[in-house]
Amino acid sequence: MVINDLKQVCPQCRGMGFQAGISRMGISEPNVGGKCPKCAGRGFLLTSLGRDLVDLLRPFMAELIEERARARERGVPAGGVPATDKSGGEV
Ligand SMILES: [Zn+2]
């Protein structure tokens, strides 16, 4: 599998993720913020295989985010290991 199996260059912005203007009902308007509306500024679109991979990883990403939020609540720096007392329990 190669990365191009998972994503394709956005045909609207040609991979730039930026679009200066948009056309609505034949009238050109400035695009506030400049993000390409088709790819949300990413510059690429996921293929069906790419969407499957994201769906597969989504529960793991959610778990990681929750873990980081819990660590932040306990005052542990992101990626840090919680401090332990002499008995090995978390402080
Ligand atoms: Zn785009």
Say which residue the tokens 């040609």 belong to. Answer: 14
- In the structure, ligand 1 is a single-atom ion and the residues with CB under 5 Å from it are 10, 12-13, 36, 38-39
pLDDT value at residue 81: 60
* CA angle, 71 then 76 then 81, to 5°: 90
**Which of the two residues, 88 and 45, has the higher pLDDT score?**
45
pLDDT value at residue 84: 61
Q: For residue 10, give the nearest of 48, 38, 32 by alpha carbon.
A: 38
pLDDT value at residue 88: 57
How many Å lie between the centroid of ligand 1 and the Cα of residue 79?
Answer: 33
pLDDT value at residue 22: 80
Q: What does the block give as tokens for 35?
A: 């993000």
How many Å lie between the centroid of ligand 1 and the Cα of residue 50?
Answer: 16
Q: Determine contact, residues 12/38, Cβ cutoff 8 Å.
A: yes
pLDDT value at residue 77: 65
Residue 35 has, within 13 A of its CA and on its CB side, a CA count of: 8
- What's 54's DSSP letter? H
How many Å lie between the centroid of ligand 1 and the Cα of residue 40?
Answer: 7
* Each residue's pLDDT tens digit, 14-66: 999 998 888 888 888 888 888 999 999 999 999 999 999 999 999 999 999 99
pLDDT value at residue 79: 61
